[in-house]
Amino acid sequence: MSGIELDDFGNLVERPDARLRRDSQERWRDLVRPADGLGKAAELADWLAAVQGQAPVRPITSPRVLLFAGDHGVAGLGVSTREPGTASALARAAVDGTAPVSVIARQLGGVPVEVVDMALDCDPAELPAEVTAYRVRRGSGRIDVEDALTRDEAEQAFRTGMGIADRLADSGTDLVLLGDLSVGGTTPAAVLIAALCGTDASVVTGRGSGIDDLAWMRKCAAIRDALRRARPVLGDQIALLAAVGGADFAATTGFLLQAAVRKLPVVLDGVVSAACALVGQRVAFRAPDWWLAAHTTGEPGQAKALDRVSLDPLFDHALHLGGGVGSLLALPLIQSAAALSAELPPELTQPAPDEAAELVEPAPDEVTKLGDGPEA
């Protein structure tokens, strides 16, 4: 396999159209009073105008949930409340329609939910062939003592993510709601964030699936040990993903970067997608302009990563579940912003001409009455 030229992304990723963002901002002066009355919805419409390349914007009609799935060997250290190697159950629930993200997707009009098995630790026969078609390996290495992947596996996963971005862009998808299905995934996410932000393990170690204090200390130790392995390869993002990431991380990073190349907007979910976004920013500094952060999860690593890539979460609903739930819950707000930009007519929000005249000057008989009073 020939090596991936990451430097190419820096040239291929363009910024969204700043002129159209300004045009969208100026339109609100004619549409609503006060001009900032729609708050976050108007800001989202401005962003959509820039990424779509038009103002007013097109409605969001073809969104898709995309979930990269994988098991992580570090889960064997007891850093998760879930049993190691059980992410396949999460994937199966999403495929069967019983996962929280699937329920919400049906409620929102049948948003498609796509699960991509990159490194689940299960027999491929347990899941549909279209889910396991991209699998790179079964599980990943224990990142505190060994690499998660070989370099070839990391490149394969990265290219898979790129290919999926191309497929979705070519099929007419107009917004991707990104998520992950993993057991142990918040640990490599924390390692990547700590390594790229230059912090130590305790700053980025969160509670993940709801671990207790003892598990938190084990997790912190695993992140510390993995950080020692990450620092020597910080200048090579593929090597970094191979050493302390995983196939799902590599695929997510490749997807995010190619989506930015294809001008396909993406909504990030939790700490895993935030970590991949941080890696992606190192490759192409303009890429985060094509992404939104859905929500805060309470994971300290996520907050640090989003701050570094200059993305402000849309909301805080105390969601800690993962699995694309947060990014999907952002969809109604984004669709509403698009609809307001596309459908709100100026004439409904301004006074009619006769009403405006009445506000400016009194009627003639009122002028006469004002002058008929006794002189002082």
pLDDT of residue 95: 97
Percentage of the residues of the chain whose pLDDT score is greater than 70:
91
- For residue 362, tell me if it sits in a domain: no
Residues of the chain falling short of pLDDT 50: 1, 348-350, 352-353, 355-360, 366-376
pLDDT digits (tens, 9 = 90+) for 228-285: 999 999 999 999 999 999 999 999 999 999 999 999 999 999 999 999 999 999 999 9
CA distance 225 to 219: 10
- For residue 160, tell me if it sits in a domain: yes
- For residue 245, tell me if it sits in a domain: yes
- For residue 144, tell me if it sits in a domain: yes
pLDDT of residue 374: 45
CATH of the domain at 186: 3.40.50.10210
pLDDT of residue 1: 42
- For residue 339, tell me if it sits in a domain: no
pLDDT of residue 320: 85
- For residue 370, tell me if it sits in a domain: no
pLDDT of residue 363: 53
Name the domain count of the chain.
1
- Can you give the pTM of this predicted structure? 0.90
pLDDT of residue 209: 81
Q: Which domain holds residue 83?
A: 63-328
- For residue 161, tell me if it sits in a domain: yes
- For residue 355, tell me if it sits in a domain: no
